Amino acid sequence: MLTARQDKLRDEPLASLQLPILFVRGTRDQFCDDGPWEEVRPRLTSPDITVHTVEGGDHGLKVKGGKVRNQIFSDEIETQSINIQHQYVQ
């Protein structure tokens, strides 16, 4: 949600979306930490917002612990994304 300089929120495009939104964020993501996220979340107007937090994930959702652990998280995120898409395509 923050620019690379960490001083300006980039939430304007998200605030007016009326589509289902799936946010995937890591707990170690330096661009989307809890402070700004808690400030932005109430301004979002989408009727359906899902947040998936990858424990230990960085901005690229990489988790310390090697390729196997990252593949597990990647598979979980893909499965959740597909399930959410199916809800709205039917």
Query: What pLDDT is recorded for position 62?
Result: 77
Q: Return phi, psi of residue 46, to 5°.
A: -60, 140
Q: Which residues contact 40 (CB under 8 A, 6 or more apart)?
A: 1, 9, 11, 14, 15
> Between β-strands 21-26 and 49-54, what pairing exists: parallel, antiparallel or unpaired?
parallel
Query: What pLDDT is recorded for position 7?
Result: 63
CA 23 – CA 33 distance, rounded (Å): 13
Are the C-beta atoms of 37 and 13 separated by less than 8 Å?
A: no
Q: Give me the amino acid identity at 70.
A: N
Evaluate if pTM is beyond 0.75: no
Domain residue limits, the chain: 12-89
Report pLDDT digits (tens) over 11-60. Answer: 888 888 898 888 888 888 887 777 777 788 888 899 888 887 877 888 87
